[in-house]
């Protein structure tokens, strides 16, 4: 072996694993993520001197325990001291009340104390004496010199040495033929040429286009705070799992891995599941007795597509696992360097979830005169998003870790999770689901993955009954106009509708609509006849809607502002026999079907004003509402009478009475008008029209609101109004809003400046008659506002792709059922069959929306399924980026969309600043980088004065300006000599000639080894101590130059030359 000897130390290149860990440690130097504690309780007569000598003997036996690390020219080396004294720190707590709790507190403080990898020692020991014969021993080692297997070696040798010192004779341990440095030297010599090429070829193919596992958390991990929960599986289940493994020719590890990947598949909805699994990497017998960091991470990527049976999945997992083991020599870091995945400080590359069946040889530590038992500490850190470690409970396990478990046999496990991503309730649920899944697997391994049970009976009851269903008794056997006529009987002289200075009582509105209904019947309208209503909002339009229903027909709202071509399509598509319109539209439509109310009213007034008697059923179509179709062709949604009754009568989200005044703001061709018009008229309230021009002027709008106490607005209009007049809605009894994701800042401002009595967030598609769920907002403490629970007589379900209920905390598609459902799409049988489906005995509407159950069963809207996009293998939610942008103190509102630019999908953020605030792209990008991973950062930021809205009050994406190419990517020359110097440095390291100041180091091929070399050269060239993590935080020339500039002495900064 070749090694450089410097006085009393030896210098060797670090192993690949050490290189990886050292790199992570530089990114998170204060996190103490890789401090590995061993804590033991020693009961009996302890000889501290023998304990100290035993520890020292182990340190002398293993060079790795005398090792520190140093970088030379950007490369990492092991520095091995010939001798190193490890003191046994001692604290005497005898006689102190609560001494054990005090000792455990001090133990945690000691565990969290960072190691200095370049100084050492990387091992510490501390002994606390609680009683004369009771001690706690802590040995803390850095993972860079120690792994799980090493624990067994240390425990075994500790027992040998301590017994030898007690007996006064030499220990009988065989000498070590090699040391860890020999392994690291061999590894670097072996992994070259054809060997390296073959390994790389396999892994590059295996992990091509690997996707990131998305487990539905709305958060991004910003630190490594963790927690853990224990898992216990009984012996009977273990026996069944082992029997299944034997029958199918796989190992227990493969069976558990397949089950865990199935669980992740069911949680994420993804079929491409890649997880990490540690391997001991000690395949040579000489390595088994060494302490050191040998462990390697294998990426086990399984294809679960096609809904295979579990037995078929085992075949896939066997092939993946055996192939991975056959190519396990390639260190994980070499793999990351080659594949160059998107790097983020908050996310592990290539996999975020870890699984292992631990089979490390573990022996009980036996010390003469002492009873030793390990102390299990609460987990407080997490290196990954989610980790599952499982042990088979044999004698050694029971001897070491037997206390604190419910069963004495079976399987034991620990689930470690990042608390930024998961809470304890979610993990407890996941733990139960894993056991339920395993029980379902052993019961019938021929079951397809989609059919395997995941939920307990209690969960199914909560999801399908308690959370999704609310029944109320409402008039489900009457038609809309019949319920209106009941109100007429009770309050004939009360004002029914008012628009400006014009108003009609209930009696007058009833009489006028009766006359028009009879006139329509004379014109051929009968049961089910579609009648177009092409009128501006006003009393005439309301009377026309009533008249069509009274005549037995179904009204079809036609917005006079629509293009003529669209109106003609709707008239023909709906088979409209008659169009009720006004003078300025009559000539435009040019049809013999048109009845102009102004011109025909003298004839209409000749008809009887008595109520009509027609045969009308509540399941008969009341109206057809046209909505935009994804194909560009409008589709007509057929809504029956009963669905409207369920929306506004005897419901749970609002109580409207005859003293209320309901605002009529919505375009009649927008389904919010259904709530406004019939919410008022079927409950004896007054409908008050507010002109559209008024709603667009916040000051006039607020003045107009003094006439009403119930108002529905789109989210965008609420946001727009609150920004200018925060207390605009404080006089209202009810403010309902919905249609788009709520802006938390605006709603928080609304509450602070004057909340209405009831602030209701509603959600629902036209196909389920306007509203489906509701959530009453009292305070805003979260980053999102739920859409809540089902309104009365509606059932809401969250299903996965296989139409199975998803657990709480797992995203699924929203399906709706109940009395609000439309009959389908007019003349679109194929589309109706696709969207309105039959599942067992339920008729469901599939919304295409994604949601998740949060605490208490409230739904949180996640976005459209077709709004999910992929950026370099990462699933991106546009709404999440918008939500984070609006948290910026200078941002009023934000819209993020995807645009195709030069055949590339780019994220574009449109931002409305607060008042007269000045916003820069650099400021916004820096803010987002502190909260989101790099792949979620928009390519460009466009500042706009306001968010453009459609006539229905929703965001008009088509009206957003298209950014110029140079907005997307500002090709920039270096502005300073420092930037020019950095470009030259990058060019040398990356082997590239053309580098722009906005280029990303990692996107140009940078990896961890090059980061280390870059930081080393920056340190030498500019005489600054640049932390390694700075390259991740500032991966462009421009950003990195700023970091370096900030670290320079002032005098040196003044010397910087502008180019």
Residue 631 and residue 747 in one domain: no
What is the CATH number for 417? 3.30.559.30
* Other beta carbons less than 10 A from residue 599's beta carbon: 12
Residue 425 and residue 301 in one domain: yes
pLDDT of residue 863: 83
Residue 909 and residue 951 in one domain: yes
Residue 755 and residue 812 in one domain: no
pLDDT-derived band at 1059, boundaries 50, 70, 90: very low
In a domain, 481, yes or no: no
* Other beta carbons less than 10 A from residue 464's beta carbon: 14
Token pair of 42 as six digits: 């020693």
| 572 compared with 30, residue with greater pLDDT | 572
3-state secondary structure 843-860: EEEEEEEEEEECHHHCEE
pLDDT-derived band at 407, boundaries 50, 70, 90: low
Which of 135, 168, 183 is the last residue in one of the domains? 183
What are the helix (H) ranges across 659-714? 672-681, 692-695, 698-704
Instruction: Decide: pTM greater than 0.85.
Output: no
What is the CATH number for 1034? 1.10.1200.10
* Other beta carbons less than 10 A from residue 167's beta carbon: 10
| pLDDT of 339 above 90 | no
pLDDT of residue 968: 40
Token pair of 601 as six digits: 């009213």
Span 981-990, average pLDDT: 88
Residues with Cβ within 8 Å of 680's Cβ and at least 6 positions away in sequence, in order, are 496, 497, 656, 660, 662, 664, 686, 687
| pLDDT of 1058 above 50 | no
What's the whole-number average pLDDT of the chain? Answer: 88
Cβ atoms of 58 and 161 within 8 Å: the answer is: yes
List the one residue out of 586, 539, 521 whose CA is nearest residue 558: 586
User: Model confidence over 792-811: pLDDT tens digits?
Assistant: 999 999 999 889 888 888 88
User: Model confidence over 818-840: pLDDT tens digits?
Assistant: 999 999 999 999 999 999 999 88
- Give how far Cα 550 sits from Cα of 431, 502, 508, 596, 609, Å: 58, 23, 15, 19, 12
Cβ atoms of 885 and 765 within 8 Å: the answer is: no
pLDDT of residue 816: 97
Residue 810 and residue 709 in one domain: no
First to last CA, the chain: 51
What is the CATH number for 590? 3.40.50.980
Residue 667 and residue 549 in one domain: no
In a domain, 193, yes or no: no
User: Model confidence over 712-754: pLDDT tens digits?
Assistant: 998 888 988 898 899 999 999 999 999 888 888 889 999 999 9
| pLDDT of 935 above 70 | no
630/457 Cα distance (integer angstroms): 39
1029/1015 Cα distance (integer angstroms): 10
Cβ atoms of 650 and 472 within 8 Å: the answer is: yes
User: Model confidence over 585-634: pLDDT tens digits?
Assistant: 766 676 678 999 999 999 999 999 999 999 899 999 999 999 876 556 78
1043/346 Cα distance (integer angstroms): 20
pLDDT-derived band at 125, boundaries 50, 70, 90: very high
Which range, 338-347, 715-724, 1027-1036, has the best average confidence (pLDDT)?
A: 715-724
Which of these ranges, 234-248, 319-333, 361-375, has the smallest mean pLDDT?
361-375
Residue 423's domain comprises 210-450
Residue 611 and residue 672 in one domain: no
pLDDT-derived band at 584, boundaries 50, 70, 90: confident
762/530 Cα distance (integer angstroms): 29
pLDDT of residue 335: 84
Residue 304 and residue 328 in one domain: yes
The β-bridge relationship of strands 686-689 and 710-714 is unpaired
679/760 Cα distance (integer angstroms): 15
In a domain, 718, yes or no: yes
What is the CATH number for 824? 2.30.38.10
User: Model confidence over 586-595: pLDDT tens digits?
Assistant: 666 766 789 9
Total domain count, the chain: 7
In a domain, 202, yes or no: no
| pLDDT of 419 above 50 | yes
Cβ atoms of 756 and 731 within 8 Å: the answer is: yes
880/932 Cα distance (integer angstroms): 9
Token pair of 525 as six digits: 């309208």
Helices 672-681 and 641-648: angle between axes, nearest 10 degrees: 70
In a domain, 565, yes or no: yes
Determine the distance from the C-alpha atom of residue 605 to the mean position of all C-alpha atoms in its chain, rounded to a whole number. 61
Helices 332-339 and 1008-1022: angle between axes, nearest 10 degrees: 80
Query: DSSP assignment of 653-665, as one string?
Result: S----TT-EEEE-
Cβ atoms of 395 and 60 within 8 Å: the answer is: no
- Give how far Cα 1054 sits from Cα of 739, 822, 985, 1044, 1049, Å: 54, 71, 22, 13, 9
The one-character DSSP state at 531 is: E
- ∠ CA 667-670-672, nearest 5°, is 95
Span 402-422, average pLDDT: 79
CA dihedral 1017, 1022, 1024, 1027 (to 10 degrees): -40
Residue 438 and residue 461 in one domain: no
In a domain, 191, yes or no: no
Residues with Cβ within 8 Å of 434's Cβ and at least 6 positions away in sequence, in order, are 231, 259, 260, 263, 388
In a domain, 968, yes or no: no
pLDDT-derived band at 403, boundaries 50, 70, 90: low
pLDDT-derived band at 457, boundaries 50, 70, 90: confident
What is the CATH number for 90? 3.30.559.10
924/932 Cα distance (integer angstroms): 12
Residue 108 and residue 170 in one domain: yes
798/792 Cα distance (integer angstroms): 17
pLDDT of residue 772: 97
The one-character DSSP state at 1055 is: T
Residue 435 and residue 521 in one domain: no
| 723 compared with 515, residue with greater pLDDT | 515
| pLDDT of 1052 above 90 | no
| pLDDT of 682 above 90 | yes
* Other beta carbons less than 10 A from residue 398's beta carbon: 15
Which of 791, 816, 832 is the last residue in one of the domains? 791
List 391's β-bridge partners, or say none: 358, 412
Rg (CA), the chain: 35
User: Model confidence over 142-166: pLDDT tens digits?
Assistant: 999 999 999 989 999 999 999 999 9
Residue 445 and residue 541 in one domain: no
In a domain, 648, yes or no: no
pLDDT of residue 114: 93
181/290 Cα distance (integer angstroms): 11
Which of 904, 931, 963 is the last residue in one of the domains? 963
pLDDT-derived band at 641, boundaries 50, 70, 90: very high
Determine the distance from the C-alpha atom of residue 58 to the mean position of all C-alpha atoms in its chain, rounded to a whole number. 47
């Amino acid at each position: 072996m070749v090694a450089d000897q410097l006085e009393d130390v030896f210098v060797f290149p670090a192993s690949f694993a050490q290189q990886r860990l050292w790199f992570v440690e530089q990114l998170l130097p204060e996190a103490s993520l890789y401090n590995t504690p061993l804590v033991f309780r020693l009961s009996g007569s302890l000889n501290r001197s023998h304990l100290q000598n035993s520890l020292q003997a182990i340190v002398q036996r293993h060079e790795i325990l005398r090792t520190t690390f140093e970088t030379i020219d950007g490369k990492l080396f092991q520095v091995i001291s010939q001798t190193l004294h490890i003191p046994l720190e001692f604290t005497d707590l005898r006689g102190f009340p609560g001494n054990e709790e005090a000792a455990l507190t001090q133990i945690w403080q000691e565990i969290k104390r960072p190691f200095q990898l370049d100084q050492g020692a990387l091992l510490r020991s501390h002994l606390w004496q609680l009683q004369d014969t009771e001690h706690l021993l802590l040995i803390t080692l850095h993972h860079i010199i120690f792994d799980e297997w090493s624990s067994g070696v240390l425990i075994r040798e500790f027992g040998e040495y301590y017994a030898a010192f007690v007996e006064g004779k030499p220990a009988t341990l065989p000498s070590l033929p090699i040391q860890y440095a020999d392994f690291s030297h061999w590894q670097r010599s072996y992994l070259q040429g054809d060997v390296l090429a073959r390994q790389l070829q396999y892994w590059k193919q295996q992990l091509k286009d690997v996707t990131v596992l998305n487990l539905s958390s709305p958060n991004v991990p910003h630190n490594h705070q963790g927690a853990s929960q224990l898992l216990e599986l009984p012996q009977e289940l273990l026996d069944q799992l082992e029997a299944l493994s034997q029958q199918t020719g796989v190992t227990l590890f493969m069976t558990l891995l397949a089950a865990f990947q199935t669980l992740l598949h069911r949680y994420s909805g993804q079929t491409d599941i890649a997880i990490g699994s540690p391997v001991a990497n000690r395949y040579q017998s000489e390595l088994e007795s060494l302490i050191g960091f040998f462990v390697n991470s294998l990426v086990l990527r399984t294809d679960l597509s096609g809904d295979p049976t579990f037995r078929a999945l085992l075949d896939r997992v066997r092939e993946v696992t055996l192939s991975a083991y056959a190519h396990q020599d390639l260190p994980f870091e070499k793999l990351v360097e080659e594949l160059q995945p998107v790097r983020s400080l908050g996310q592990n590359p290539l996999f975020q979830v870890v699984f292992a069946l631990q089979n490390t040889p573990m022996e009980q530590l036996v010390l003469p005169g002492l009873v030793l038992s390990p102390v299990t500490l609460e987990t407080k850190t997490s290196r990954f998003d989610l980790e599952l470690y499982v042990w088979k409970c044999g004698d050694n396990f029971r001897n070491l870790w037997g206390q604190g478990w419910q069963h004495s046999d079976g399987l034991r496990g620990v689930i470690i999770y990042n608390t930024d991503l998961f809470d304890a309730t979610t993990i407890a649920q996941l733990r139960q689901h894993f056991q339920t899944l395993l029980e379902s697997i052993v019961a019938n391994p021929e079951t397809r993955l989609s059919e395997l049970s995941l939920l307990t009976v209690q969960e199914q009851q909560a999801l399908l009954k308690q959370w999704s269903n609310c029944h109320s008794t409402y008039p489900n056997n009457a038609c809309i106009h019949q319920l209106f006529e009941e109100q007429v009987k009770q309050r004939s002289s009360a004002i029914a509708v008012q628009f400006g200075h014009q108003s009609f009582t209930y009696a007058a509105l009833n009489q006028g609509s009766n006359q028009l209904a009879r006139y329509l019947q004379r014109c051929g309208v009968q049961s089910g006849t579609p009648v177009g209503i092409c009128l501006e909002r006003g009393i005439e339009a309301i009377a026309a809607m009533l008249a069509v229903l009274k005549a037995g027909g179904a009204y079809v709202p036609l917005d006079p502002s629509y293009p003529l071509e669209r109106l003609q399509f709707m008239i023909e598509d709906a088979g409209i026999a008659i169009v009720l319109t006004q003078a300025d539209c009559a000539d435009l439509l040019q049809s013999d079907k048109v009845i102009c109310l102004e011109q025909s009213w003298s004839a209409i007034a000749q008809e009887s004003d008595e109520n009509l008697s027609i045969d009308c059923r509540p399941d008969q179509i009341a109206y057809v509402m046209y909505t935009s179709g994804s194909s560009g062709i409008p589709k007509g949604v057929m809504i029956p009478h009963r669905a409207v009754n369920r929306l506004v009568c005897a419901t749970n989200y609002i109580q409207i009475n005859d003293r209320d005044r309901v605002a009529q703001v919505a375009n009649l061709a927008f389904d919010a008008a259904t709530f406004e018009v019939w919410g008022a008229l079927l409950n004896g309230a007054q409908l008050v029209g507010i002109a559209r021009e008024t709603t667009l002027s916040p000051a006039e709008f607020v003045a107009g609101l003094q006439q009403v106490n119930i108002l529905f607005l789109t989210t965008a209009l609420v946001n727009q109004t609150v920004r200018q007049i925060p207390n605009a809605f404080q006089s209202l009894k009810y403010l309902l809003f919905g249609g788009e994701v709520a802006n938390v800042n605006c709603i928080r401002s609304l509450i602070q400046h004057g909340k209405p009595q009831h602030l209701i967030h509603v959600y629902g598609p036209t196909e389920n008659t306007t509203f489906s769920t509701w959530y009453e907002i009292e305070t805003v403490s979260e980053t999102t506002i739920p859409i809540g629970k089902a309104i009365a007589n509606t059932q809401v379900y969250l299903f996965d792709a296989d139409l199975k209920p998803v657990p709480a905390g797992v995203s699924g598609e929203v399906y709706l059922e109940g009395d609000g459902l439309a009959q389908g799409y007019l003349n679109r049988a194929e589309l109706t069959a696709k969207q309105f489906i039959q599942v067992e005995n339920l008729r469901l509407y599939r919304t295409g929306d994604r949601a998740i159950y949060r605490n208490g069963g409230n739904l949180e809207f996640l976005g459209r399924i077709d709004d999910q996009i992929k950026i370099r293998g990462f699933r991106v939610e546009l709404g999440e980026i918008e939500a984070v942008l609006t948290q910026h103190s200078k941002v009023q509102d934000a819209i993020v969309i995807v645009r195709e630019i030069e055949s590339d999908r780019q994220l574009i953020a449109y931002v409305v600043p607060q008042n007269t605030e000045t916003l820069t792209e650099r400021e916004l990008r820096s803010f987002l980088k502190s909260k989101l991973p790099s792949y979620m950062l928009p390519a460009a930021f466009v500042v706009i004065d306001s968010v453009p809205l459609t006539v229905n009050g929703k965001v008009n994406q088509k009206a957003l300006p298209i950014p110029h190419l140079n907005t997307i990517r500002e090709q920039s020359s270096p502005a300073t000599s420092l930037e020019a110097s950095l470009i030259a440095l990058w060019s040398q390291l990356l082997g590239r000639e053309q580098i722009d100041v906005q280029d990303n180091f990692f996107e140009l091929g940078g990896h961890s080894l090059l980061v280390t070399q870059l930081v080393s050269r920056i340190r030498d060239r500019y005489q600054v101590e640049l932390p390694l993590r700075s390259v991740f935080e500032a991966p462009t020339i421009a950003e990195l130059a700023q970091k370096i500039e900030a670290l320079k002495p002032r005098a040196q900064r003044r010397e910087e030359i502008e180019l």
